[in-house]
């Protein structure tokens, strides 16, 4: 899968994406990350890419022409699916991440300053995506969030699909609490059932704990679940114990 990131600050993006799991996936050629510096497409000798707003207001807005030229470069080998990261977009969730992971080529446009002239956005963007209801100084962090979350869904990036299928948000629940060595830490013991080697019991325990975790931490998600009578009994019994 290919990602093209259009940004005024390519180093911010490259620094993050060149390390760890995503960096290794890039090195192996499982994903291909291209950063285009919008400033390289400025049409003036000072590489100026922004100007004041019509109608007044503070700050500077990124101009159409450099973004348009940069977009054309991104389209050289075929039209990508184009995302503008913006606080006005739908908020990213795991369902959207999975949907995006099925595209061949994603192009992510990062705004900066006050954002980007609406006219060029209307000619280029397929979808606006936000990473939360707050405002960042630029779209670079949001672009990295999309590349990271989408890449994890691509075969070969993680060691196997178990690494993500049992995780939070994959089936509308949160992951159960997890533990590693040592078995006892500061007097707190790992639950006995996780040590007994009986996989059916472990799975059942984890299912109950996953439901409880969701109920306690994300009641909004819990309300949407369809829970069997058996699961309910186990949740209530466990809650009573604690
Ligand atoms: C300071 S913001 C511009 C905010 C814009 N003037 C507004 O009020 O909607 C600069 C850039 O950061 C990015 N950005 C800011 N908040 C974001 C968010 N929550 N999700 C995704 N991108 C965001 C966008 O690319 C935006 O163009």
Mind listing the domains of the chain with CATH numbers? 2-151 (3.40.1280.10), 170-241 (1.10.1270.20)
Average pLDDT for 157-178: 90
The pLDDT of residue 162: 78
Task: Please identify, by atom number, the ligand 1 atom nearest to the C-alpha of residue 88.
Answer: 9
Give residue 84 CA to ligand 1 midpoint distance, Å.
Answer: 9
Give residue 186 CA to ligand 1 midpoint distance, Å.
Answer: 44
Q: pLDDT over 70 for what percent of the chain?
A: 100
List, in order, residues 6 or more apart from 38 with CB less than 8 Å away.
Answer: 6, 7, 8, 49, 62, 66, 67, 70
Q: How many CB atoms lie within 10 A of CB 80?
A: 19
Tokens standing for residue 171: 């089936």
Average pLDDT for 141-151: 98
Q: How confident is the model at residue 62 (pLDDT cuts 50, 70, 90)?
A: very high
Are 100 and 106 in contact by the 8 Å Cβ rule? The answer is yes
CA-nearest residue for atom 22, ligand 1, is: 86
Q: How many CB atoms lie within 10 A of CB 205?
A: 19
Q: Does residue 163 carry a pLDDT above 80?
A: no
Whole-angstrom distance, CA of residue 227 vs CA of residue 236: 12
The pLDDT of residue 242: 82
How many alpha carbons lie under 13 Å from residue 172 in its C-beta half-sphere? 8
Q: Does residue 76 carry a pLDDT above 80?
A: yes
Angle, alpha carbons 21-27-33 (nearest 5°): 85
Q: Using one digit for the tens of pLDDT, what is the confidence trace for 77-117?
A: 999 999 999 999 999 999 999 999 999 999 999 999 999 99
Q: Using one digit for the tens of pLDDT, what is the confidence trace for 203-234?
A: 999 999 999 999 999 999 999 999 999 999 99
Q: Is 54 in the pocket of ligand 1 (CB under 6 A)?
A: no
CA-nearest residue for atom 18, ligand 1, is: 87
Q: Are strands 32-37 and 60-62 parallel, antiparallel or unpaired?
A: unpaired
């Amino acid at each position: 899968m290919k990602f093209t990131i259009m940004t005024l600050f390519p180093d911010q993006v490259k620094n993050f994406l060149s390390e760890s799991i995503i960096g290794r996936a890039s090195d192996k050629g499982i994903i291909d990350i291209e950063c285009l510096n919008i400033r390289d497409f400025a049409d003036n000798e000072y590489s100026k890419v922004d100007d004041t707003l019509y109608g007044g207001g503070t700050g500077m807005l990124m101009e159409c022409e450099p973004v348009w030229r940069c977009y054309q470069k991104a389209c050289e080998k075929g039209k990508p699916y184009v995302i503008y990261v913006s606080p006005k977009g739908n908020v990213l969730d795991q369902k959207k991440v999975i949907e995006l992971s099925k595209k061949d080529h994603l192009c992510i446009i990062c705004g900066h300053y006050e954002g980007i002239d609406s006219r060029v956005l209307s000619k280029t963007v397929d979808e606006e995506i936000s990473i939360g209801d707050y405002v960042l100084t630029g779209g670079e962090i949001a672009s990295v969030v999309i590349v990271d979350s989408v890449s994890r869904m691509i075969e070969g990036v993680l060691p196997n699909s178990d690494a993500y299928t049992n995780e939070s948000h994959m089936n509308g629940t949160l992951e159960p609490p997890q533990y590693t060595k040592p078995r006892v830490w500061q007097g707190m013991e790992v639950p006995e059932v996780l040590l007994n080697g009986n996989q059916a019991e472990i799975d059942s325990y984890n299912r109950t704990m996953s439901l409880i975790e969701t109920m306690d931490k994300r009641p909004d998600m819990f309300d949407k679940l369809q829970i069997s009578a058996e699961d309910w009994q186990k949740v209530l019994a466990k809650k009573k114990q604690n």
